[in-house]
Structure 1
Amino acid sequence: MSSQQQKALFLQSKQGKFAVGQRNIPKPGQGQLLVKIHSTALNPVDYKIQETGIFVENYPAVLGSDIAGTVEEVGEGVHNFSKGDKVFAHGSFADDQSSYQQFAIAVADFAAKIPNNLDFDHAATVPLAYDTAAVGLYSEKLGAGLTPPWAQGGKGKYSGKPILIVGGSSSVGTYAIQLARESGFSPIITTASPAHESYLKSLGVTDFISRHLSGEELTAALNKVTKAPVEIVFDAISLPETQQAAWTALAQNGTLILTLQPVVKEDQGKGRRVVATHGSPHAQANQALGQASWKILEEWLKTGVIKPNRFEVLPNGLNGIDEGLQRMRAGKVSGTKLVAHPQETKVSEAIRYLELQPYGQEKSTKTYLPFRTTYIRWPVRRAIYRAYQVDHPHTTINVGHPSAPILSHDRCRSSRGSSAVPVSSMDWQLGGLVWPSVQQRFPVPPLAPPVSGVAIQFIVFKNI
């Protein structure tokens, strides 16, 4: 792999599959940092993008929002960061600013230094989930419009007012709980699995309610906790059933904050409001709020005002992300954040750039010399295709004298200038295709003419 290239996880097409491949390392511009990513967190939005195609227009695309790593290069106009600083940052849907890769661009306004009491993994759990909670509570346009606790008069402003956070053990829920505590809300009521009760109470929850209640049951449970109207409900799950229950429990003149599009309808003329928040500080409506929020984050994490999520590290670097997203989609992750280490992506595993450069579609003006034999036909072409998909990325080259691909059970390489094609005698299977047991040496003319049905390109396999 070139020193100017990196490994990245690509969503290859709309509603397509993920594959690890290579892309150039970007350069930071005005107000930006180049960060070597040591840890990135997974978020539900990523598998929702894969499922539905939302937010992304150009493919192949790099996803991921949570960046934690070291500054490699500082862009023009940045004075509060230096090369070597340990930082975390909120990425965006632009490929260069996404986190499922080894290096990414971070906007300095939405980045902070990692305090000494935290590691990269803890820091990676913060950006998207924290920003979603902050925007939901404090944004005028995309949230409830409350006064944030870092603003003058904001800390403790809502003392004595109850708040309900649905899905308190989710990543967004845990940060919403802590921000509600700083804003003075009391009681802070949440719904979640009983397994997380003690953990959530350590973050600021005062009252715990079962997560499996209908709207009427939830309202009755809230009335046992507080007689004050619950005017702020943050639904961090936002499934149709949780939205409906939360909407039923919401008091008059209240606001329901959602992380997904609403399925409930606002009461016309009755004062209740529903808002779908969007936690990216890069959105124009969120930029001022994001800049102010990120200025306080390092200090809050250092002093324990904000505590990061609990986490689980996925194996195999970028290659582990797809399986992690599948677990999240299946509801098999609860109360923890999944994180991955892009720098731990092994060379032997970074070979699934398959559908991005399919066989026979090289972007090159060079010509290739096919050859024929009475023994080798299309299945061999397909087997060679599968071989370079499974074993190594490839480069096709024009040669004046044929190169002979040498195939074996564990690797593929070229032998330039050979006049024969040695073929392994062992059975082997690549990508579901079985190579037949043969042992032959097939003569290859120095300038073999094209033959219908046979078009084996000469391929050089190389490590990255």
Structure 2
Amino acid sequence: MMPKTMKTATIFKGPESDPTRVRVEISDIEIPTPKDGQVLIKVIVSGTNPKDWKVPVYMPAFGPHNTGDDVAGIVAAVGKGVTEFKVGDRVAAFHEMRTPFGSFAEYAVAWETTTFSLPDHTSFEEAATIPLAAMTAVVGLHARLNLPSRWETQSAEREAVEKGGIVVYGAAGAVGAFAIKLLSRANLHPIIAIAGKGIPFVETLLDMTRGDVVVDYRKGDDAVVKGIADAVPKGQKLMYAFDTVSSNNSYTNIFKVLDLRGHITFVLPGKKYEGIPETVNDSITTVGSVHGKPDDLWDLGYVYFRLISLGLKQGWFSGHPYEVIPGGLQGVQQGLDNLRDGKNSALKYVYRIEETEGYSG
């Protein structure tokens, strides 16, 4: 029998003495009832993302809230109109950002459209690394850059990538790594991956026989620019770039090689990107679009989450490397602090909710 209350973690902006630090408070609230079209999920493992600490710090207008959006667990109840899932199903889901009942809790809610089934061989820990980051890669590649899927064998965009390649800056991070997996599944090469400490991991994702290369950003900006330029096939133009870092000198390095009529997408909203040539087609990849914000990409999210589920089943898609932070919800503070301090490389932090002190089961 389901309990009436649950533990949840709320993320607050930290003290004035340390304005970029967040504060996590754990409290007991009533377990929500799913609305029409929603699924209530008993959270087994929650993932986390850099925005989980950045939103409270840099977007305080949204107020303190449960910022977790990567859910992996078991369906506990379904709202009216839900036909795809039933109680007891193993699922993962992308919770709608900045809405109540996120994944840092014993139970979370998600829309049916952004929930997907898990095969038995996919652990909840692996599954918790997927939803937000993988869908960010989907939106960036297929909605913002308008790149073709695997079954779209003939298009001007495919021809442009096959001739000049595509840059994935920040390839060891979850969004970058998922982008490489999706590009490979779509048969889009050569991939020019930019990474640092995570290069050994990134190399496992690339196909060097298709012209894929990895460039080490630790060697400095000039070396990065040269590495990108050298990776573009001779006589061709670099027309596409996915900047999953969107900070430091990432995009300025790209612009030194990208064609003046090329396409680039960034991942940080609200940032002022300076020095973009007027003729370059630039965009912001907003993963909230699969929940209708700011544009309506519900169908894209629905289709690709089901494709990801199939990929997990067939083995051509997998989650990101992860580290379990002990303590369940009590561990969220440590995970967010680690993300703020840049301690993670090529991995995602996840939390086993049953390890929470006072867990009700």
Q: TM-score, normalised by structure 2?
A: 0.87
Alpha-carbon distance change, 97 to 278 in structure 1, aligned in 2, over 3 angstroms: farther
Q: CA deviation at 1:156?
A: 6.9
Q: Provide the residue aligned with 1:134 in structure 2.
A: 138
Cα distance change, pair 303–262 in 1 and its aligned pair in 2 (3 A): farther
Task: Provide the rounded CA distance (Å) in 1 between the counterparts of 2:115 and 2:151.
Answer: 17
Q: Secondary structure at the match of 2:286?
A: coil
Deviation, structure 1 residue 183: 2.7
1:164 aligns with 2:175: no
Q: 2:265 matched to 1:257?
A: yes
Residue-by-residue CA offset, 1:172-211 (whole Å, 9 max, x unaligned): 1100111121232221111112x53342222225211111
Letter in 1 for 2:277: D
**Structure 2 equivalent of residue 28 of structure 1:** 34
- Report deviation, 1:137: 1.1
Distance 2:151 2:58 in 1: 36
Match of 2:10 in 1: 10
Measured against aligned partners, the alpha-carbon deviations of 1:289-330 in whole angstroms (never above 9, x if no partner) come to 112212212101111222210100010001101111111111
Is contact 2:255-2:276 (8 Å) kept? no
1:183 pairs with 2:186: yes
Q: Once structures 1 and 2 are overlaid, which stretch shifts more, 198-207 or 4-13?
A: 198-207
* 1:148 equivalent in structure 2: 149
Given that 1:18 and 1:322 are in contact with CA atoms closer than 8 Å, whether structure 2 keeps it comes out as yes
State the distance in 1 between where 2:200 and 2:63 align. Answer: 44
Q: Is the 8 A contact 2:260 2:277 kept in 1?
A: no
Code of the residue aligned with 1:211 in structure 2: it is Y
Unaligned runs of 5+ in 1: 351-462
After superposition, the Cα gap between the structure-2 partners of 1:156 and 1:181, relative to the gap in structure 1 and judged at 3 Å, is farther
Q: Distance in 2 between matches of 1:12 and 1:4?
A: 25
1:15-414 residue pairs with structure 2 within 5 A? 17-53=23-59, 57-59=62-64, 61-139=65-143, 143-149=144-150, 158-193=161-196, 195-204=197-206, 206-212=212-218, 216-225=222-231, 226-227=233-234, 228-260=236-268, 261-268=271-278, 271-280=279-288, 281-282=290-291, 283=293, 284-347=295-358
Higher helix share: 2
Mapped to 2, the partners of 1:343 and 1:159 lie a distance apart of 47
Letter in structure 1 aligned against 2:253: A
- 1:26-59: CA deviations, max 9, x gaps? 11121111100011111001111132125x6244
- Aligned mates of 1:276, 1:48 — CA distance in 2: 17
SS state at 1:307 partner: coil
Do the aligned partners of 1:62 and 1:100 also contact (CA within 8 Å) in 2? yes
In structure 2, the CA distance between the partners of 1:263 and 1:275, relative to structure 1 (3 Å rule), is same
Higher Rg? 1
**Cα deviation 1:427-449 (Å, max 9, x = unaligned):** xxxxxxxxxxxxxxxxxxxxxxx
Q: For residues 151 and 27 of structure 2, what CA distance do their matches in structure 1 show?
A: 42
| Deviation of the 1:13 alpha carbon | 5.7
What is the aligned residue count? 341
TM-score by length of 1: 0.68
Structure 1 stretch 230-239 or stretch 215-224: which is displaced more?
A: 215-224
Q: Quick check: 1:126–1:308 contact (8 Å CA) kept in 2?
A: yes
Q: What one-letter code is carried by the residue in structure 2 that aligns with 1:203?
A: L
Partners of 2:189 and 2:195 in 1: CA distance: 18
Tell me, which stretches of 5 or more residues in structure 2 are unaligned? none
d(CA) in 2 for partners of 1:133, 1:186: 16
What amino acid does structure 2 have at the position aligned with 1:117? H
Alpha-carbon distance, 1:231 to partner: 1.2
Q: How far does residue 79 in structure 1 lie from its aligned partner after superposition?
A: 1.3
Question: In 2, Cα distance between the equivalents of 1:43 and 1:337?
Answer: 8
Give the SS at the match of 1:49: helix
Tell me the amino acid that sits aligned with residue 145 of structure 1: N
Superposed CA offset, 1:65-100 (max 9, x none): 100000001111111111100000001234434111
Letter in 1 for 2:276: E
Once residues 216 and 58 of structure 1 are traced to their aligned partners in structure 2, the CA distance between those partners, rounded to angstroms, is: 42
Q: Which has the higher contact order (CA 8 A, sep 6+)?
A: 2
Report deviation, 1:234: 1.1
Contact 1:215 1:247 (C-alpha < 8 Å) held by counterparts: no
Identity of matched residues, %? 25
**Alpha-carbon separation, structure 2, partners of 1:104 and 1:17:** 21
